[in-house]
A = this chain, B = another copy of it.
Amino acid sequence: MYSPEVRTAAIIGFGYMGASMALDLLDQGVRVTAHDLPDALCGLKEVESFQDVEIATSPANAATADLVVLAAPIQTNLRILNEIAPALLNTRLVIDVGSTKRAIVAAAESLGIGARFVGCHPVCGSALSGWNHSRPGLFRDRRVYLCRTAESSESAAGLATTLWQSVGATVEAMNADEHDRLLAWTSHLPQALSTLLGVTLGTRGIRRTDLGPGGEKMTELAQSSPEVWSPILLDNMDNVGEALDAFAEQLQDLSAELRKKNEQEISRVFRETSKWASPAPQGQGVSRVERRSGTARRS
């Protein structure tokens, strides 16, 4: 039990993230209730590691838990927060784990539960979804952004911090505006590009199996759950739009230089970006060679 104040947890939206959190909490002795549609929870109790999870098919009684975790797609989180807010009497902490933070933080404030709410975003993105892909330790060594409301109490913020630390994550505080602006670039843009590459190749009649390892890697995120991602992009439209525009501009520049056969410029772009993307000098290259031959040399 990561805190004596948290003996019971309600996980609303029992997918990849929610179920992984459940596994870590169960391991700590917390009593976990899984809230999701009956269809989504079908088969759950047959899995040994989930045998102790209680199943609830309506979020109504979630409000009695010490900890409430909103882990459904972001629009569902908003809707359910609205539903359960009036009943949240004894709950010590309400968090969400969605990829955007402005809307949910604002909702918590306007519903009058700002003191007990902390928006959370564990950055452990993956194309996987569903509890059948969940695993204990998912959050270990991951970064979690914590976005307090205007009224988050010290006690709620402390509980949220301890929760994430207890599952091995590192927390980073940030306000919701900053968060959504940053994540548009570091997360939502990469997801959009992978999806757009899939659209482009699919439209050309190319299947994913026609790709080499590089192309496969670049379209892996395109597998991500549409139910999760299309609301994220819409919710963060202003910031994502800006990031997409910046990307489009770089794309146009490269295209133009390519058509001019501007070798110098193309090569500058690749050189500088390779430097940006490569690990710092004492990176993997050296250690691999050292292990193998005793000579330190980098490609």
Q: Chain A interface (Cβ within 8 Å of chain B)? A: 15-16, 42-43, 46-48, 123-133, 142-143, 182, 185-187, 189-204, 206-208, 210-215, 217-226, 229-230, 233-234, 237, 240-241, 243-248, 250-252, 254-255, 258-259, 261, 263, 266-267, 269-274, 276-278, 285, 288-289, 292-295, 297-299
Whether the pair B195, A285 counts as a contact (CB closer than 8 A) is no
Which 7 pairs of residues, A with B, have the shortest CB-CB distance? A130-B299, A226-B270, A123-B212, A222-B277, A190-B218, A198-B273, A125-B214
Copies in the complex: 2
Judged by DSSP, the binding face of A is: helix
A123 to chain B, nearest CB (A): 4
Give the chain B neighbours of A214 by CB distance below 8 A.
125-126, 187, 190-191, 194, 221
A198 to chain B, nearest CB (A): 4
Whether the pair B288, A132 counts as a contact (CB closer than 8 A) is yes
A249 to chain B, nearest CB (A): 8
**CB pairs A–B below 8 angstroms (15 shown):** A46-B294, A126-B214, A132-B289, A132-B297, A186-B206, A189-B200, A190-B214, A214-B221, A217-B217, A222-B274, A226-B271, A237-B261, A240-B258, A241-B255, A248-B255
Closest B residue to A48 by beta carbon equals: B293
A164 to chain B, nearest CB (A): 15
Closest B residue to A128 by beta carbon equals: B299
Whether the pair B299, A246 counts as a contact (CB closer than 8 A) is no
A176 to chain B, nearest CB (A): 18
Whether the pair B237, A244 counts as a contact (CB closer than 8 A) is no
Bound Cα distance from A175 to B15, whole angstroms: 47
Whether the pair B270, A258 counts as a contact (CB closer than 8 A) is no
Whether the pair B43, A246 counts as a contact (CB closer than 8 A) is no
Whether the pair A247, B197 counts as a contact (CB closer than 8 A) is yes
Most chain B CB within 10 A, of A124, A142, A199, A247, is at: A199
Whether the pair A195, B259 counts as a contact (CB closer than 8 A) is no
Whether the pair B237, A215 counts as a contact (CB closer than 8 A) is no
A67 to chain B, nearest CB (A): 24
- Known A133-B288, A194-B218; contact A273-B189, beta-carbon cutoff 8 A: no
